Amino acid sequence: MMKVSESMTNIIYGCVMMMLIGLGKGEVGASSPYSSSSSSSLSSAWLKKEKFLEKTKAPRDPLPFDINNMYTNLMYSYAAYCDGPVIDNWTCFWCTYNASMTTSGFIPVSILYNTSDNIQGYVGYQGNIGYVVFRGTEAASLKNWITDLDAGHSTPYLPVPNAYVHTGFFRAWMVAKAATIDAILKVMAVADIKVWQFTGHSLGAALSELAAVDIILEDVINAPVIIYNFGAPRVGNEAFVQYYDQLIATTYRATNMNDIVPHLPDEFMGFRHPATEVWWNTTNTYKICDGSGEDPTCSDSRLNLSIEDHLDYLGIHKDIGGC
């Protein structure tokens, strides 16, 4: 396995930061799909939030952290990197990796794939738990890397007053949105879903957060949402994160040691993480961080950042699966 030197990591980090720097100017780039004419109706997001919480009896306080559930969601997240056909018949490496403990009985319903933007994911269920899973960045896929790093501008998230989100991540979600909603409705037609789990690694983690909020605002689902994700970049600003944390009580966002991606885009550009981070400070030990989303004693305490740590979660390297 090729190791990335500290000096090379610093060079790459510097280049990424140069690409991201324009975001700090507060400019608006790609137009939001929510037109200004519809903003008055969409401003009812706060009422929709209360309706969702009441309808689903979604907990307003986080559920306890479950390490087994995090492991299960990692398997689902890694599986999203595999080819569609082996996900569809659930024979991929990660589909069967320790399956008796994790993904046994999972039924994939729809594979999500957009050729032009190379966005992939899948939706299915295991018993009465529905899963929405998005693929992260493929190192060999330039289009996905551009999506990750295209942070020269932020985009207004008009359903929430004063909220902005990362333009590249939001555009990727808009590409996948219609197919994702259709897939969720297909699952609900055949299964009595009691809870939805959204997950993903890297770019997939960012999409899991955006998708969950939008799916709730679209009034698509009728069950609470839980998010476990891995190596997520920052998606939105303070206003977006505050709304997110009120809407989705249970998010456990895994960060691994010196992983560079959770540090981007930078806080000084106005971006923040939602609660709650779970930081692996060694391969085998983790800390449940405070509810701020930006606990200075967790991954924010690390300066010597690593690309390699982004590929190795819970002591399991993503690339061993060959996907």
- 163-207 pLDDT tens trace: 999 998 999 999 999 999 999 999 999 999 999 999 999 999 999
What local confidence, expressed as pLDDT, does residue 40 receive? 41
What local confidence, expressed as pLDDT, does residue 175 receive? 93
Residues 290, 291, 294, 299, CA torsion sign: positive
Asked if residue 251 has pLDDT above 50, the reply is: yes
* Cβ–Cβ < 8 Å for 272, 241: yes
pLDDT band at 44 (very low <50, low <70, confident <90, very high): low
What local confidence, expressed as pLDDT, does residue 17 receive? 41
Average pLDDT over residues 49-57: 76
* Cβ–Cβ < 8 Å for 304, 6: yes
What local confidence, expressed as pLDDT, does residue 138 receive? 76
What predicted TM-score, i.e. pTM, was given to this entire model?
0.85
Report the half-sphere exposure of 201 (CA within 13 A, side-chain side).
28
140 vs 145, more confident? 140
Average pLDDT over residues 69-93: 95
Least confident of 96-105, 192-201, 310-319: 96-105
Average pLDDT over residues 20-27: 36
Asked if residue 147 has pLDDT above 90, the reply is: no
| Beta pairing partners, 108 | 124
Tell me how many helices (H) and strands (E) the chain has. Answer: 10, 14
Average pLDDT over residues 212-233: 94
Average pLDDT over residues 119-145: 84
Cβ-based neighbours of 180, under 8 Å, separated by 6 or more: 112, 121, 123, 132, 211, 215
